[in-house]
Amino acid sequence: MQNKELLVAAIKNGTVIDHIPASKTFEVVNLLGLTDLKSAITIGCNLHSEKVGSKGIIKVEDKFFTDEEISRLSVVAPNAVLNIITDYTVVEKKPVIMPATLRGIVHCPNPKCICNNEPMQTIFHYNGKNHTFQCHYCNTEVTADTVKVKP
């Protein structure tokens, strides 16, 4: 417990993304474009979690995520929590909320969908009941396990 608090409190200003499914940790790094950042980043993977068994955690110094970035995150880590850190203190715990409509985020797996053939945004509607995403244009459904986020 001491260790966990130390990990969260170790950055002065920034964001700690917690409760990422362990297997999705590096996917989150990529989809948020964290490899392009110059600020300090700490990545923890396969950490013990009483809630989900095994989790990932990412600490990003001097970075506060936009709504669009949080939407991207929600697709692969819907139960993640963003801890907003100011002056070594957690000032806000922000659970990720999946938007009903995701624009330009989810990749449509249907090669014959118009959205893969025109210079346009994909639009997917999230169905919370069975945790699936449906393409607005071709109605193709993808499950949470198989969903791919656009680069």
Footprint on this chain of other proteins (rule: CB under 8 A): 110, 112-115, 117-120, 135-139, 141
- Closer of 41 and 138 to other proteins (Cβ): 138
Residue identified by tokens 């198989």 is: 146
Q: How far is the CB of 148 from other proteins (least distance, A)?
A: 18
Q: State which residue, 4 or 136, has the beta carbon closest to other proteins.
A: 136
Task: Decide if 32 contacts 72 (C-beta within 8 A).
Answer: yes
Give the H or E element holding residue 18: strand 14-21
Please enumerate, as own/partner, the contacts of 108-114 that have beta carbons within 8 Å and a separation of 24 or more: 108/135, 108/137, 108/138, 108/140, 109/140, 109/142, 109/146, 109/148, 110/135, 110/138, 110/140, 112/138, 113/137, 113/138, 113/140, 114/138
Sign for the pseudo-dihedral over CA of 46, 47, 53, 56: negative
State the nearest-atom distance from the C-beta of 5 to other proteins, in Å: 47
Q: How far is the CB of 124 from other proteins (least distance, A)?
A: 12
Nearer to other proteins, 66 or 111 (CB): 111
Of 34 and 113, which has the nearer Cβ to other proteins?
A: 113
Q: Least distance in Å: CB of 30 to other proteins?
A: 27
CB of 76 to other proteins, least distance (A): 24
Task: To the nearest 10°, report the CA torsion of 46, 49, 52, 54.
Answer: 10
Query: Looking at beta carbons only, is 83 or 122 nearer to other proteins?
Result: 122
